[in-house]
A = this chain, B = another copy of it.
Amino acid sequence: MSKALPKRSENYSEWYNELVKRADLAENSAVRGCMVIKPYGYSIWEKMQRALDDMFKETGHENAYFPLFVPKSLFEAEEKNAEGFAKECAIVTHYRLKNDPNKPGKLMVDPDAKLEEELIVRPTSEAIIWNTYRNWIQSHRDLPLLINQWANVVRWEMRTRLFLRTAEFLWQEGHTAHSTEKEAIAETEQMLEVYATFAEEFMAVPVVRGRKTANERFAGAEETYCIEAMMQDGKALQAGTSHFLGQNFAKAFDVKFTNKENQLEHVWGTSWGVSTRLMGALIMAHSDDEGLILPPKLAPIQVVIVPIFKGEEQLAQISEVILPIVKELKKKGVSVKFDTSDKQSPGFKFAEYELKGVPVRLAIGARDLANGTVEIARRDTKVKATYQIDSVVETVTNLLEEIQANIYQKALNFRAENSHKVDSWDEFVKTLDEKAGFISAHWDGTPETEEKIKELTKATIRCIPLDAVEEEGKCILTGNPSGKRVVFARAY
């Protein structure tokens, strides 16, 4: 067994970095800021994709695929959007290499193969998609257009961190077009709720649903909705966003439709996305100093069975009892691994599966066999108990549900303990430094105050919660009147 992980309490950041690597989730690549997602990490992402994709399809969306590249002239068409992403774009300027005459065996960019127009590697696809929608939409009968794509995007971030912020990342981006403002807003809100449901029911991560302030809006959006999750260090992580685009992209790309009254109007748009960043949220929300803790609904291996044996004969005896259980669990849709390898000790395996976050572990040795029992350990609470073999299938399936619920409840309790209502500047600063977490406080609604607070404390307004209560209050910084509280936090 490799050496222990750094402890969360000592170095949360180092703990995260090491855990991502040791649990075989991802690693840095030879390309600055780009990661390699390793098979175990990718299998969790696949489970996320499948669940989200089902939810998108249930809400009427279809998948499609649009080009990786955006010609510069299209990219700059929606000015705010272009401005927002211009500083972090990878740009293709040439389309051919040739042998370097000065360095045998080496290649160089062929200066004769310069593109007439540069191509931007998509940081997001509104431009290329809305340019396509112009030809797809003529009449109100073509609307709503409800499309999603699963794709890679590139944003040339200077400081990168596995899953949380990488130059290339994987995501899905929904892009919809509607005939009315009302319908587009309803779509924006619906997709936020899909994300929130996914975070809470699959990832077991409670989220605050809210709206971003104008400062934090997606470049080119009229309104950005978001879900914000709390990590174990009390910092916030934006886990998904859903944008109401108004008619901005329709105007920039001249996308019009004939309404029922036979008049020409610009289309209303939305876009929404979640990315491999969710992997970071999943890891940081639940895991402990021994390794990952995965919610059963997203665990690639839900149950591992470790036989404790000496020699083939003992293994054969254990297998005779275990194989029917494996079969029955699989029939119930439970993913099981029966690890019969004799290259590692049971103790090594226990630690390894703890590191990998397998929710339920069964262990069975000669004595258990004689007694007709099995030891079952759950990863979340580390509680172990002995069960009769004939109750194993029921116990395990119940336990998986219980663990899913317990992990969520634990995160919910943690968030409650680390959410504070604050009514003065001193209290705000003190709370931020001593307790971390989410701070619910009044703000005067101006971008200037928001900026100033960020400068002074590094805390940002995570969102204006959708369920914020109307109440009279005073801005913690300026004392100016405020109608509702917003959520402040330091954030990833």
CB of A37 closer than 8 Å to a CB of B: yes
A103 nearest in chain B by CB position: B76
Size class of A's contact patch?
A: 35 or more
Contact B92 A76 (CB under 8 A): no
Interface residues of A in 278-323 (CB under 8 A from B): none
CB of A23 closer than 8 Å to a CB of B: no
Task: Name the one of B31, B43, B128, B131 contacting A62, with C-beta atoms under 8 angstroms.
Answer: B43
Q: List 17 A-B contacts (CB under 8 A).
A: A29-B132, A31-B70, A31-B71, A34-B69, A37-B65, A39-B63, A42-B62, A43-B63, A45-B65, A68-B121, A68-B154, A72-B107, A82-B107, A91-B96, A92-B93, A92-B121, A109-B118
CB of A399 closer than 8 Å to a CB of B: no
CB contacts (< 8 Å) of A151 on chain B: these are 152
Contact B86 A107 (CB under 8 A): yes
Convert A22-63 into 0s and 1s, putting 1 for each residue whose CB lies closer than 8 angstroms to a CB of B. Answer: 000000011100111111001101100000000000000011
Contact B90 A119 (CB under 8 A): yes
CB contacts (< 8 Å) of A42 on chain B: these are 62-65
CB contacts (< 8 Å) of A436 on chain B: these are none
Task: Name the one of B30, B74, B91, B96 contacting A86, with C-beta atoms under 8 angstroms.
Answer: B96
CB contacts (< 8 Å) of A131 on chain B: these are 30
Contact A38 B64 (CB under 8 A): yes
How long is the Cα–Cα vector from A97 to B85 in the complex, in angstroms? 9
Chain B: minimal CB distance from A294 (Å): 17
CB contacts (< 8 Å) of A63 on chain B: these are 39, 42-43, 46
Contact A76 B107 (CB under 8 A): yes
CB contacts (< 8 Å) of A168 on chain B: these are 67-69
- Other A-B pairs beyond A69-B90, A76-B106, 4, CB < 8 Å: A68-B154, A93-B93, A93-B109, A97-B120
CB of A87 closer than 8 Å to a CB of B: yes
Chain B: minimal CB distance from A333 (Å): 16
Chain B: minimal CB distance from A349 (Å): 15
Chain B: minimal CB distance from A51 (Å): 15
Interface residues of A in 157-215 (CB under 8 A from B): 168, 170
A70 nearest in chain B by CB position: B31
CB of A156 closer than 8 Å to a CB of B: yes
A156 nearest in chain B by CB position: B95
Contact B107 A97 (CB under 8 A): no
Contact A97 B92 (CB under 8 A): no
Chain B: minimal CB distance from A462 (Å): 28
Contact B30 A74 (CB under 8 A): yes
CB contacts (< 8 Å) of A74 on chain B: these are 30
Contact A36 B91 (CB under 8 A): no
A119 nearest in chain B by CB position: B31
10 pairs of A and B residues whose beta carbons are closest in the complex: A39-B62, A34-B67, A86-B97, A37-B65, A95-B156, A91-B94, A31-B67, A93-B93, A90-B92, A76-B107
Interface residues of A in 8-33 (CB under 8 A from B): 29-31
Convert A108-136 into 0s and 1s, putting 1 for each residue whose CB lies closer than 8 angstroms to a CB of B. Answer: 01000000001111000000100110000
How long is the Cα–Cα vector from A39 to B148 in the complex, in angstroms? 9
Chain B: minimal CB distance from A239 (Å): 20
CB of A98 closer than 8 Å to a CB of B: yes
CB contacts (< 8 Å) of A72 on chain B: these are 97, 107
CB of A451 closer than 8 Å to a CB of B: no
A26 nearest in chain B by CB position: B65
Contact B29 A67 (CB under 8 A): yes
How long is the Cα–Cα vector from A92 to B120 in the complex, in angstroms? 9
CB of A89 closer than 8 Å to a CB of B: yes
Contact B88 A95 (CB under 8 A): yes
Chain B: minimal CB distance from A94 (Å): 4
Contact A343 B152 (CB under 8 A): no
CB of A79 closer than 8 Å to a CB of B: yes
CB contacts (< 8 Å) of A348 on chain B: these are none
CB of A147 closer than 8 Å to a CB of B: yes
CB of A141 closer than 8 Å to a CB of B: yes
CB of A338 closer than 8 Å to a CB of B: no
How long is the Cα–Cα vector from A70 to B118 in the complex, in angstroms? 19
Task: Name the one of B29, B65, B86, B94 contacting A66, with C-beta atoms under 8 angstroms.
Answer: B29
How long is the Cα–Cα vector from A42 to B63 in the complex, in angstroms? 7
CB of A272 closer than 8 Å to a CB of B: no
